[in-house]
Amino acid sequence: MAIAVDLARRVGRLAEMDVRFVPVAPNASSVVPNHAREAASAALDRGETHYTDRPGIAPLRGVIADRLNDRFSLDLEAGDVIVTCGATEARFVTIQQLLPSGAGTVVALGHPERVRGACVIRDVDLVGPDAAPPGGGVIVYLPTGVDGDVRDRWLREAADRDWVVLSEREEGDDAPHPAAAGLRDRTITIGDVVAGKGAEAWRVGYLAAPSSEVGPLRDFKQSLTICTTNVSQWGALALAENEENAS
């Protein structure tokens, strides 16, 4: 009975928050580049139709780690990266795994709609950047485009209080990484490998975490979706490698 009551309460919260399904990328092109389609086709021909390693195929994880290291002077290895079903799953996994159920808070410095559903399911509070600093377990959600003064204030607070930062990076985002504020070991970096490249429906994102956290996050991701679609990962790898060769 208690479980049913709790479920009804959470469903009520979803209604109050106006959580709704939105397109993966409403303005994205539906034309997948030829090199990515050819890579996906080749993966099918090779029989890449089974589960991958649960964190994702090693070449793609390696490329993601290298790109984050080059952009933000990090020291990630492929083993610190988990390939996810888009950035949505990366956000969800982080919030579900790293906040205590019913006793945590997500401070969204922007785009609260991206984390509302995950907060309701975990039964944690969701507040904005103007809220007073909360106590207890806290994740600071830092998407691209947050005002520098707001970002820096909350990163200082996170460093002082040992909070987790969920840093979502988009292409072209040249803002400093939270690692520069002393939060290297408290930052989960997430993103979407295929955003803006015509292959959004493939749903290939990533989550990069400190070595101390990556194991539990990987295990929880596996319990949700086992692995991100095999063929999609090989296609996303071709997209990522083509970008590297072009730069």
Distance between CA 153 and CA 34 in Å, rounded? 44
Amino acid at 111: H
pLDDT at residue 30 in the model = 61
* Residue showing tokens 């410095």: 109
* 3-state SS assignment for residue 163: coil
Do the beta carbons of residue 93 and residue 73 sit within 8 Å? no
Mean pLDDT, contiguous 10-residue spans, the chain (247 residues): 55 56 50 89 93 94 96 95 97 97 96 97 97 92 97 97 96 91 97 89 95 94 94 94 69
The pair of three-digit structure tokens given for residue 233, joined into one six-digit string: 């990962």
pLDDT of residue 97: 96
Domains and CATH numbers, the chain: 2-21+36-246 (3.40.640.10)
The one-letter amino acid code at 69 reads: N
**Which tokens is 179 given?**
């690692």
Would you call 194 exposed, middle or buried from its count of C-beta atoms within 10 A (0-12, 13-18, 19+)?
buried
- Rg of the chain over Cα atoms, rounded to whole angstroms, equals 18
Region of 225 (left: φ > 0; alpha: ψ -120 to 50; beta: rest) is alpha
Q: Residue 103: CA atoms inside 13 Å, Cβ hemisphere, count?
A: 3
The pLDDT of residue 18: 56
Q: Which two three-digit tokens encode residue 170? A: 């988009």
Is the CB of residue 40 less than 8 Å from the CB of residue 194? no
pLDDT at 10: 58
221 vs 218: CA distance, rounded Å: 5
| 141 close to 123: Cβ distance less than 8 angstroms | no
Amino acid at 105: T
175 CB burial (10 A radius; 0-12, 13-18, 19+): middle
